[in-house]
Structure formats: C-alpha cells, structure tokens
Copies of this chain bind each other. A is one copy, B any other.
C-alpha cells in the first residue's frame, strides 16, 4: 500500500530528503499513480499523521477518563506510547522526526496539542486529588513526560538505545520511575536559588 511505502521511505530518508519517486518505487507503482490518491507529497505526510494520531489520541483519552489513580494513568500513557515502537517502528520514526516539530504542517499542530492537553489534564486532576505533588505546572509536567517519551523513541529509532522486549519494559519503568518518584535519593529543595 502506498501509505505504508511512504512511511518506510520517510522513516529511512526523512521527508524532505525523499522524493515522490522513491515512495513510488518502494510501493512498486508508477509515481504518477500517487497523484490519484494524494494531491501532493505533503498530503502523504499529512495523511500518515492524521490516520495515526487519532488512534493515539483515542487511547490517551481512554486512559484519561478511567477511574484509576493518576500515577497509574501516567504509567499507562507511557506504555501506550512506548509500545507503539515495537508494532510500528517506521511510523514512530516519521511521527517523531517529521511531524511533531514541523511548523509548516500547521493545523495538525492542534492535534498534537491535544495529546499534550490530555496529559496535562491528567496531571492536573492528579494534583487536585492529591495523587501527584502539587508543585510543578501541569502544562510543563506534560511537556516533560512527552519529551522523555519522544526521546526514548528517538533513541530506538537511531539505534542508540537497546530495544529488546525487556529493554522496552525497562524504559517504561524508568520513565514512570523518574517522572513519578524522581531521581533524588532524598527529597530535595526544588526552589531555584540561582
């Protein structure tokens, strides 16, 4: 299928660097055919993003609306994001490298913001319920969680982190551990004095 081919090619070469012809070759069709299904190269990327992000968002919202305690919800969020890697590595590659920080993809940013917002609400509610420490801004906390997850994915994408099944479980645990319990051996004074 053409979209799958596009995902593979964009994952391998990067969106800007890869040519429409490369996608066609990978898909085993003439490049003219792409234009029956997609109006432009950009639409390929947009479509990949949209078809994928929705299902991620749905999963996040499901977690968000569950009755579980916030730390457990956070754990689930990490699991959802990180486990995608094993199932769809190329997709993750593209989402992480091309879509997430491409300014020209404009409105899609809104949908990414949705993911942030879901995590943000989750943190907010956790703090309100006393399940999470009240200090950190929910928004920033969400950004930190997202960044940590994305960076681990990037490490896998670039082959700089081991990604065996146990490694994935380990990473999940590490993120949850660090984000929830912190790295400090003893409670630290977190007010910046510099």
Contact yes or no, B174 A140, CB < 8 A: yes
The SS class assigned to the A binding surface is: helix
Identify which of B96, B146, B181, B192 contacts A190 (C-beta below 8 A).
Answer: B181
A106, closest chain B residue (CB): B158
Contact yes or no, B150 A177, CB < 8 A: no
Shortest CB–CB separation between residue A110 and chain B, in angstroms?
10
Expressed in whole angstroms, the Cα–Cα distance for A144 and B170 within the complex equals 13
Report chain B residues within 8 Å CB of A187.
181
Expressed in whole angstroms, the Cα–Cα distance for A49 and B151 within the complex equals 19
Contact yes or no, B178 A188, CB < 8 A: no
**Any B CB within 8 A of the CB of A46:** no
